[in-house]
A and B are shown apart, each in its own frame.
Chain A
């Protein structure tokens, strides 16, 4: 149990295009999902907290108009990188905190999405 999937696992796009990344909790419901970003040799840094049915909360320095987050259901959150540029190339990882049934004070991580912007 407690499986989180991400799609796609990797994506290459041209500069200026938009890319959507999906994060799904497969066997549990998650009111809250988190989006992290990891640059090479760096730590995971929180980008935003996504709450089902409400607006996401973005960390300081993360542009909400560039990184659009939609958490339309208890099992799906999406991150859309709009007008992507090479500096957005990174490893994006989501995590999901169970609403109940499982431990609600922990979170389960997806396998990550490697984004490369040419």
Chain B
């Protein structure tokens, strides 16, 4: 059974810092991996989607990497801003059929000004 773990559970940094969020999964046979942002009491915003054949994806100040063989992904946030404060969720797509995603518990990020 696939399990997704995110470390750390919470992170507080001053504005301007570069930071890394970690995600690990137990079964390397995945189709894709996705990073989401969730603001308190809100739904999910998709940030980056990495296919299993890809090593990384970039969008603005965000960069996500994937090492499928080791079961790891990282989300790198450059020059963090207070507006980046949210919970970041990692989710694994197990197959091409588009079955349900398997989520980690998330990392709650707080960026202070």
Listed in ascending order, the chain A residues whose CB lies under 8 Å from chain B are 6, 32, 34, 36, 41-46, 49, 91, 93, 95, 97, 104-107, 109-112, 114
Give the chain A neighbours of B97 by CB distance below 8 A.
105
Of B41, B89, B101, B106, the contact of A107 (CB 8 Å cutoff): B101
> What band does the interface of chain B fall in when counting residues whose beta carbon is under 8 Å from A?
20 to 34
Give the chain B neighbours of A32 by CB distance below 8 A.
98
Listed in ascending order, the chain B residues whose CB lies under 8 Å from chain A are 4, 31-32, 34, 36, 41-44, 46, 49, 89, 91, 93, 96-106
Give the chain A neighbours of B100 by CB distance below 8 A.
34, 36, 46, 49, 95, 107
Whether A41 and B93, one on each chain, are in contact in the complex, defined by CB atoms closer than 8 angstroms, is no
Interface CB pairs A-B, < 8 A, 27:
A6-B43, A32-B98, A36-B100, A42-B105, A43-B4, A43-B103, A43-B105, A43-B106, A44-B89, A44-B91, A45-B103, A46-B100, A49-B100, A93-B43, A93-B44, A95-B101, A104-B98, A105-B31, A105-B93, A105-B96, A105-B97, A106-B49, A107-B98, A107-B100, A109-B43, A109-B46, A110-B43
